[in-house]
Structure 1
Amino acid sequence: MSAASWRDWLLTDTPASRAQAAWGQRYRLWRSFRAHPLALGGLVVVMLLIATSLAAPWLATHDPAAQNLAQRLQPPSAQHWLGTDELGRDIYSRLLHGGRVTLGMVVAVVTLVAPVGLAIGCVAGYAGGLLDRVLMRLTDVFLAFPRLILALAFVAAIRPGITSAIFAIALTAWPPYARLARAEALTVRGTDFIAAARLTGASHARIVLRHIAPLCLPSVVVRVTLDMSSIILTAASLGFLGMGAQPPSPEWGAMIATARRFILDQWWVPMVPGIAIFVASLAFNLLGDGLRDVLDPKQR
């Protein structure tokens, strides 16, 4: 089948099956997303960051933990593309491996908080009454504390490390998703199709899972994408303060922490991981803006 035939098949107004209708809707969303060049650029940068992080063992030119004091604080050169740090370690190699740590923490946090926030918000919005009040007051308690301060307190209560940092960020990141999902659930719980589902004998769990959660999911996905930049900054902040990844782990925040005293003389040592954090945060923000325009019907 030619490309034109595929396009006609996807864009038909009379799909012959549910699968054709679903793929047609996905194709229309992709066409709308493709019309936003900044969002498309953000998607490309995010995919490049993920690809280079996954391929770090093959793309790195040096061992990220190998020290060479004779080559310490060397400027960018043909041997060391982004220079060396205070222990003579290759910054380019550490940057690639650090992306695995930082982006891996982001993925782990999102995997934890998005389902939890979506579930709490959908249940609270659909159930209402006492359960709604209890869940939302619990959410307000977590929202009352600044994210970084609460994460620092949680990590300090356990022990510094990547695992503790992931759970600390997850502990502070789920309330906005719960609030958003609850707001979406409140708008649909009184609709006719929910009443029809009840009349057919559908259980409350089935209504939440099959009818309410799918309608709340697009808004949560957009919020997750927009929130990834703040998760990156929180993870880097914990590493910078010594509560996240521990040396010699090449995490971007920890790299800035150990190199901050060289910012005036050997500027490339702290600036390179700082630029990586900035680029990753900006790319996720641009991607989130594009997804918001595509998935939110109020923005169309």
Structure 2
Amino acid sequence: MSDMTSNAPLSWREWLMTERPASRMQARLGRTYTTWLRFCENKLALVGLLILVLLLLTAAFADLLAPYSPYIGNLKDERLLAPSALHWFGTDDQGRDILSRVIYGSRLTLFVVILVAIIAAPVGLLIGTVSGYAGGWIDAVLMRITDIFLAFPKLVLALAFVAALGPGIENAVLAIAITSWPPYARIARAETMTFRNADYISAVQLMGASPMRIVLRHIMPLCMPSLIVRVTLDMAGIILTAAGLGFLGLGAQPPLPEWGAMIASGRRFILDQWWVAAAPGAAILIVSLGFNLLGDGLRDALDPKEEGR
């Protein structure tokens, strides 16, 4: 009995790693497990994953973790206090606890990152796959539109859209999403052009599948690994763009604890009360580093060239 118990994990591993899966589910689980093993070989990628998990937990339990209100401060007695046991990151010019504002600011950061990914990635994937599969004048028109967006720096284009839409966190998210989809379209188009002449695509065409079905059911899933890696690597840039808009007063508006806006309010005291801007700046640095490390790990794990190594 003890021998069977000790061999249970090995049997499960063998079931996942088998070269002859008995079902599609077993094959998918096996590929997922193999990808996870390759991902775990990269220690820095695990650090990035840990940072992201901590960010998610901080945002989810901000009400429990924050020692003070992020909006209300003691302007009379606690203005610009240095870091101490009572206020670990000090207080700002309104007497508000900076640690609490950084904690609640993680929610805004995740809000921006998730919404931009939900909006920009599908748009870029759809445009890129349709362009690559259709070819001809459709490809030319869609790629020229993509080139127009790529011709402008992302922050400058986002500033133009926010100036037209008006300041606010929702308009900032929309502006960043509008400027973020072109790289995804380029990647999806390049991937599609390598797949569209493959034998299995030709077989699906002979079975009578419509072009839209081929794009949605067969080509898009093949483009997802590259897109996931690019989206993860772009998260740091999205955070910096959102912080830049907040720094310029075009993103989240006071008294929302957005990290870029916090840096903007602390720049007036950067020489004497450095902690006001240093804390949100460090948060942006750590989270951006975490996404970059995670993206590098996903790129190595999802790269088909790594499977034979």
CA distance in 2: counterparts of 1:22 and 1:293, whole angstroms: 19
Equivalent residue for 1:209, pick from 205, 216, 237: 216
Equivalent residue for 1:11, pick from 17, 27, 31: 17
Aligned equivalent of 2:58: 52
Helix, strand or coil at the partner of 2:236: helix
User: 1:248-295 CA deviation, whole Å, 9 max, x = no partner?
Assistant: 100000000000111111111100000000001111000000111111
- Pairing of 1:113-152 with structure 2 (within 5 A): 113-152=120-159
- Give, in angstroms, the shift of residue 233 of structure 1: 0.2
Equivalent residue letter for 1:25: R
Equivalent residue letter for 2:63: P
Equivalent residue for 1:165, pick from 172, 178, 182: 172
* Matching of residue 106 in structure 1 with residue 137 in structure 2: no
Equivalent residue for 1:95, pick from 90, 102, 105: 102
User: 1:57-101 CA deviation, whole Å, 9 max, x = no partner?
Assistant: 111100100121110111111211111001110001000111101
* Matching of residue 246 in structure 1 with residue 253 in structure 2: yes
Aligned equivalent of 2:207: 200
- Indicate if the aligned counterparts of 1:240 and 1:257 stay in contact, CA closer than 8 A: yes
Aligned equivalent of 2:38: 32
CA distance in 1: counterparts of 2:14 and 2:130, whole angstroms: 40
CA distance in 1: counterparts of 2:156 and 2:305, whole angstroms: 35
- Give, in angstroms, the shift of residue 299 of structure 1: 5.3
Helix, strand or coil at the partner of 2:229: helix
- Give, in angstroms, the shift of residue 165 of structure 1: 0.1
- Give, in angstroms, the shift of residue 297 of structure 1: 1.9
Helix, strand or coil at the partner of 2:253: coil
* Matching of residue 289 in structure 1 with residue 296 in structure 2: yes
- Give, in angstroms, the shift of residue 197 of structure 1: 0.7
Equivalent residue letter for 1:19: M
Equivalent residue letter for 2:129: C
Equivalent residue letter for 2:40: R
- Indicate if the aligned counterparts of 1:125 and 1:186 stay in contact, CA closer than 8 A: yes
Helix, strand or coil at the partner of 1:71: coil
* Matching of residue 64 in structure 1 with residue 64 in structure 2: no
Equivalent residue for 2:194, pick from 184, 187, 198: 187
CA distance in 1: counterparts of 2:27 and 2:202, whole angstroms: 25
Aligned equivalent of 1:73: 80
Query: Normalised by the size of structure 2, how large is the TM-score?
Result: 0.95
CA distance in 1: counterparts of 2:19 and 2:151, whole angstroms: 49
Aligned equivalent of 1:175: 182
Equivalent residue letter for 2:230: R
User: 1:28-62 CA deviation, whole Å, 9 max, x = no partner?
Assistant: 00000000000111011111011101111111100
Q: Which moved more, 1:232-241 or 1:50-59?
A: 50-59
Aligned residue pairs total 300
- Indicate if the aligned counterparts of 1:61 and 1:93 stay in contact, CA closer than 8 A: yes
Gaps of 5+ in 1: none
Equivalent residue letter for 1:43: L
CA distance in 1: counterparts of 2:156 and 2:170, whole angstroms: 17
Equivalent residue letter for 1:58: L
Equivalent residue letter for 2:18: T
Root mean square deviation of aligned Cα: 1.0
- Indicate if the aligned counterparts of 1:292 and 1:299 stay in contact, CA closer than 8 A: no
